[in-house]
Amino acid sequence: MSDLKFFEEKYEYHPDGYLISRATKKQVGKPNEEGYIRIRGSNGKEYRAHRIIWSLHNGEIPEGMLIDHIDGNKQNNKIDNLRLATRTQNNNNSIGRSVRGYPKGVQPTSSGKYRARIMQNGKQICIGTYDTVEEAKFSYDIKAIEIQGEFAKL
């Protein structure tokens, strides 16, 4: 992050997960259309607050890594809610798209049953077909914990 020195000099971190202007002592940043808090750097470029906050505490973000919100809340930028993640890990921790209101990883079949599927290494894996949504969801959750670990979003 090219503006890290600028942010260190201009802002301070508040334990509630936001930045305060050292000059005005007021909270800075506004949410963008995606829901992330954005803050302008010295060159006028906007940066996501969670990336700034993580960098202020831990240094530069390694190439190819993202900053994941553990609880999935894009505006909860408390340092203990942020962690390094690969794109795949970050996607695993997302809520996911619901298929007609079904839980993540579950979809109805034409036979009236429910299929549980999960993505692993860019490939969709069929976990199984079940009589109830609850059984399919439970199977998805078990598999997600097995292959995604702490990044599994249940």
User: In this structure, what CATH number is given to the domain that contains residue 141?
Assistant: 3.30.730.10
Looking up tokens 């909860």 gives 76
Q: Please report whether residue 15 resides in a domain.
A: yes
Which 8-state DSSP code applies to residue 121?
A: T
Please tell me the predicted confidence (pLDDT) of residue 96.
67
Are 144 and 91 a contacting pair, CB within 8 Å? no
Please tell me the predicted confidence (pLDDT) of residue 98.
62
Domain boundary among 85, 104, 121: 85
Same domain as 103, residue 30: no
Quote the pTM value: 0.76
Are 90 and 28 a contacting pair, CB within 8 Å? no
Report the number of distinct structural domains present in the chain. 2
Please tell me the predicted confidence (pLDDT) of residue 120.
86
Same domain as 69, residue 24: yes
Please tell me the predicted confidence (pLDDT) of residue 100.
78
Contacts of 104 (CB under 8 A, 6+ apart): 95, 96, 97, 98, 140, 153
113, two tokens: 């049953």
The continuous run of DSSP H or E covering 117 comes out as strand 114-120
Same domain as 105, residue 126: yes
Q: Range of 116's domain?
A: 96-151
Mean pLDDT in runs of 10 for the chain (154 residues)?
Answer: 86 96 96 94 92 96 96 95 94 74 92 94 92 96 93 85
Please tell me the predicted confidence (pLDDT) of residue 153.
84
